[in-house]
Amino acid sequence: MSSRIPIVPENTEPLPRLRENEGMLSWVASVDHKQIGIMYLICCMVFFLIGGLEALLIRIQLAQPEFGFLSPEVYNQMFTMHGTTMIFFVVMPFLIGVGVYLVPLMIGARDMAFPRLNALSFWLFVFGGILIYYSFLTQSGAPDVGWFAYSPLSEKPFSLNKGPTYWALGLLATGIGSVASGLNNVVTILTMRTPGMTMRRLPLFVWMILVTSFLLIFVIPIITSAFAMMLLDRLLGATFFTPAHGGSAILWQHFFWGFGHPEVYILILPAFGIISEVIPVFSRKPIYGYEFVAGSTVAIGLLSLGVWVHHMFAVGLGDVTNLYFSFASMLIAIPTGVKVLNWVATMWGGKIIFATPMLFATAFIIEFVIGGLTGVAIASVPIDWVVTDSYFIVAHFHYALFGGSLFAIFAGVYYWFPKFTGRMMSETLGKWHFWLTVIGFNLTFFIQHFLGMMGMPRRTYTYHDFPYWGSMNLISTIGAIVLAVSVLVFVWNILQSLKRGEKAGGNPWNAWTLEWATTSPPAVHNFDLVPPVRGRRPLWDLAHPDMPDEPDAKVV
Amino acid sequence: MNILEFLTSTWTFEPWVLITAFLLLITYGAASGFRFTRKTALLTAGTALMVIAVVSPLDYLGRNYLFSAHMIQHILLLLIVPLLLLLGLPESAARKALAVKPLGSIMGILGNPVIAWSLGVGSMWVWHMPSLHDAVLRNETLYIAQQISFVFIGAIFWWPVFAPVKERRLEPLRSTLYLASACLGCTVLGILITFAGAGLYAAYLSPVDSAGILPYLRNDLCLTPGVDQQIGGLTMWVPGCLIYLTASMITIAEWYGSADSGGLTSAGARSGSRESGQNLQPAER
């Protein structure tokens, strides 16, 4: 025997092992992508309820002119935390989380490429969120400088409270986690696909997660380094963003929007992915123009990196700069429009089944198109100068992020809940939830377009009693209360369905992607056997060997 | 001099440009048997654009008055002309040329994505160093060297994406990454030039008004040195990037149009034949 072989003594005692019945520890210590995914979803739900409550408080304060429900200081904290929570702790981690759960299943893998890194990402997100919310317990309260934290307001001379420091620290931690999950997704998708699952057969959801992950890797470091600079300014007396000492306040805006605009696409591309999975299944047709949906995603991803200056038209960078970016921003409408046309063409002539996921997906298309159209409008410099910092902008991005991302998230939850839990969600409660959401959402936000055109500024805690402003704001607040009820229905539906939902079986929607080929919920190792992949709809090919999608495809 | 006179009188028909273009077209025609195909059109367009970029008033403006005119010329010569020339090369002729020993191995080295990328992005950064740019404007020989290097380096940059010989190209997803990162490189330079104060390139601050159009540029078109430099920076930043983006869209479209041979194959897919014939396969790992 060669002496080079290291001699390891045999274990006399069995190694510590986690079993299923060890309760919380089996979750906290888990590196299983499904458990981590579920934990992402639960945490997002908690943050969603908190962020929603903050929104409700904002709307109650605005229900009447000169109302004194919240003090200006608390109002500032509320709208800052509402924006921060919804973007960084609800939509983004939900989409990352659902990706973590589904990507390995959809490509026929056992787990992510780096399971421990996956757990690290998740816990950085949780603790980042806790750190930010801890600021409520400090003497000076939560951050109150807006989710954009423009300098010099966020600099020490103007914000002596600790809030913005907690804000930057918490988001710094979360941001590192996001970059890690971006890397993890890219490596997983590129290296761990089952035989036959070529890049051109990837489910569109996975494809969009791939593009989103590249965006995460490229743009999160921009804001993370900006957070570090802000912390240096606030804690160590640096002057990156204070003009009085030779820094530049506009530099912060460039960093923030250089990240902030691609971030919008980080929030919407996986949502597009969910919609691209749901619509074909419930229209009983393959997606129309797979190549265009996938290719336009790459175009959106690349374009999104170079258009952030349209958030800064009012800064005064010069007409030439504004003109170039106005043009580039409008270009994004082309690949986005291509996608909308593809979804509509998929539904066209299909046997549409309006189950709750499909209802949300259909409403998504309509609401998102409204948000997209107002987006093209404000890409035009003169229009932007009129409506910037008004409720028109609030209406615009809520149509994109609530009517867009969140509607897709609801569609995704109803669609994959049977896979996550093994039980169906109640269709009756689902329809209640859907209609209350649609009515509440449009009631809240549509009227804000008009309020904005009439000049109502955003981010102010109250307004004078101008003609119609009071009644229009009251309508908006009533909408917000309807939305709150709809969220309660949603939570009730989840809790009820977890206990008494109908048993789902492996593939309740008769869908075609690989995650439906295993049990619900999937076993720890995901698959006993992965079906052969010979086309974009492996389960269709398996069920219909006589008419596969790609008749000439070779068996791998 | 009014502007019309300027536009008609500042064409500088340099003989070496015209002779090069003529020789290029004749050689190409002889090699391809004087048949007019899509590739011929691309190559002719590339040659024509190259001539226009070098002899038209654009060149005069860029050398004497406007940084933005220089930048348009720069983008044409570095990104558009070499792309058209490269796309115009017929595959069979390229294959023969590459079979010649030194040429094939030279392109093997220069066409390496890392080297090609560094040359392409590097030529933007190096030639736009203010001191070097001012030296180029003063020195005719250096200027000619710069123009030639643009076209050659441009061709090397596009080689890994659009080489006439298919097997020398990158896989489509890799070339998208190649182009996106190049776009990032030129974006950063564009940002620098756009947001730097006016006068980064001192020569354009107070040009010698040899053609007498300076009042027209400054007063009628409002092209102050600051605005001029911004237009230059933004031209590199936004339209420059759109060229890379369009190119990657073309490669992706070609990829989807071709037969599925795997693309970026996974480790599993490469070693995947062991389970063939069975209906169900064990999951990877």
- What count of CB pairs under 8 Å joins A to B? 129
Give dist(CA A211, CA B190) in Å, integer. Answer: 24
Q: What is the pLDDT of residue A419?
A: 96
Q: How far apart are CA A554 and CA B278, in angstroms?
A: 13
Longest Cα–Cα distance of chain A, Å, equals 94
**In this structure, is the dihedral angle defined by the CA atoms of residues B253, B259, B260 and B261, taken in order, positive or negative?**
negative
A456 token code pair:
């109502």
Lowest mean pLDDT among A341-355, A469-483, B17-31: B17-31
- Chain B, residues 197-236, CB within 8 A of chain A, namely 226-227, 230-231, 234
* Non-local CB neighbours of A76 within 8 Å, separated by 6+ positions: A144, A145, A146, A459, A461
A325 phi-psi bin (left φ>0, alpha ψ -120 to 50, beta other): alpha
Residue A193 has pLDDT above 60, yes or no: yes
Q: Is the dihedral of CA A413, A132, A28, A514 positive or negative?
A: positive
CB contact under 8 A, A320 and B234: yes
Instruction: Please indicate whether, in this complex, the C-beta atoms of A199 and B241 are within 8 angstroms of each other.
Output: no
d(CA A127, CA A534): 43
- The per-residue pLDDT for B271 is 37
The set of residues, in sequence order, having a beta carbon less than 8 Å from that of A290 and lying 6+ positions away, is A204, A536
Mean per-residue pLDDT, A271-289? 96
- State yes or no: pLDDT of A165 exceeds 60: yes
pLDDT (mean) for A514-518: 94
Q: Does B196 touch chain A (CB under 8 A)?
A: no
Test B266 with A321 for CB contact under 8 angstroms.
no
User: Any bridge partners for residue A530, and if so which?
Assistant: B281
Helix axes A407-421, A427-453, angle to 10 degrees: 160
Q: What is the pLDDT of residue B1?
A: 67
**CB-closest option in B248, B280, B283 to A302:** B248
Tell me what pLDDT residue B220 has.
Answer: 87
Of the candidates A294, A320, A529, which has its C-beta nearest B281's C-beta? A529
Per residue in A57-116, pLDDT tens? 999 999 999 999 999 999 999 999 999 999 999 999 999 999 999 999 999 999 999 999
Closest listed residue to residue B153, CA positions, set B40, B42, B98, B74: B74
Residue A287 has pLDDT above 50, yes or no: yes
Contacts of residue A89, defined as CB under 8 A and 6 or more positions apart, other chains included, come to A43, A44, A47, A51, A125, A129, A132, A174
Here the tokens at position B6 are 């300027």
Contact A194 B268 (CB under 8 A): yes
- Neighboring chain A residues of B226 at a CB cutoff of 8 Å: 318
Chain A touched by B256 (CB under 8 Å): yes
- Cβ distance B268 to A200 less than 8 Å, yes or no, reads no
For B236, which residue in chain A has the nearest alpha carbon? A324
Q: Is the pLDDT of residue A554 over 70?
A: no
Average pLDDT over residues A490-498: 96
Is ipTM over 0.90? no
In three-state secondary structure terms, A491 is: helix
* Cα-to-chain-centroid distance, residue B23: 21
Between the alpha carbon of residue B189 and those of residues A300, B147, B185, B186, the distances in Å are: 22, 19, 7, 5
Q: Among the listed ranges A165-174, A409-418, B52-61, which one has the minimum average pLDDT value?
A: B52-61
In Å, how far are A308, A368, B175, B245 from A304, measured between CA atoms? 8, 17, 19, 11
Quote the pTM value.
0.90
Beta bridge partners of A390: A457
Q: Tell me, what's the pLDDT at A334?
A: 94
User: How many angstroms separate the CA atoms of B184 and B186, rounded?
Assistant: 6
Spatial separation of the C-alpha atoms in residues A221 and A179, rounded to whole Å: 8
CA distance A167 to A148: 11
CB contact under 8 A, A298 and B231: no
Residue A119 vs residues A19, A58, A218, B90: alpha-carbon distances, Å: 18, 34, 21, 53
Computed over every residue of chain A, the mean pLDDT equals: 92
**pLDDT score at B155:** 93
Q: Do B237 and A324 touch (CB under 8 A)?
A: yes
Instruction: State both tokens at B95.
Output: 């294959």
Residue A338 with chain B: CB contacts under 8 Å:
none
Give residue A15's pLDDT. Answer: 55
Distance CA B159, CA B151 (A): 12
Proportion of chain A above pLDDT 70, given as a percent: 95
d(CA B208, CA B15): 26
Whether A198 sits inside 8 A of B272 (CB atoms) is no
**CA B201, CA B130: separation in Å to the nearest integer?**
5
Average pLDDT over residues A472-482: 97
What is the pLDDT averaged over residues A202-217? Answer: 96
pLDDT value, residue A343:
97
Two tokens at A472?
């229009």
Closest CA to A287 of A343, A358, A353: A343
pLDDT value of position A323: 93
Residue A94 C-alpha from the chain's centroid: 6
Q: Among the residues of chain B, which ranges form H helices?
A: 3-9, 15-32, 38-55, 57-64, 67-75, 81-88, 91-99, 101-110, 113-127, 130-138, 140-162, 172-195, 214-215, 225-257, 267-270
On the question of pLDDT at A556 being above 60, the answer is: no
The confidence score (pLDDT) of residue A95 equals 96
The per-residue pLDDT for B99 is 85
Number of C-alpha atoms within 13 angstroms, CB side, residue B218?
A: 12
B280 near A CB under 8 A: yes
Whole-number percent of chain A with pLDDT over 90: 83
Chain B: residue whose CA lies nearest to A193: B266
Q: What is the dihedral of CA A257, A262, A266, A267, to 10 degrees?
A: 50
Decide if B265 touches A, using CB distance below 8 A.
Answer: yes
Q: Cα–Cα distance between A161 and A157 in angstroms, integer?
A: 10
* Residue from the list A195, A327, A328 with its beta carbon closest to the beta carbon of B272: A195
- Asked if B132 is an interface residue toward chain A (Cβ–Cβ < 8 A), one would say no
What six digits make up the tokens of A317? 């960078």
pLDDT of residue B265: 42
Chain B residue numbers with beta carbons less than 8 Å from the beta carbon of A518 are none
Across A286-294, average pLDDT: 93
Residues of chain B with pLDDT under 50: 262-285
Angle between helix A249-283 and helix A391-400 axes, rounded to 10 deg? 40
CA distance B30 to chain A (A): 39
Residue burial A333-358, b: 16+ Cβ < 10 Å; e: rest? eebbebbbbbbebbbeebebeebbbb
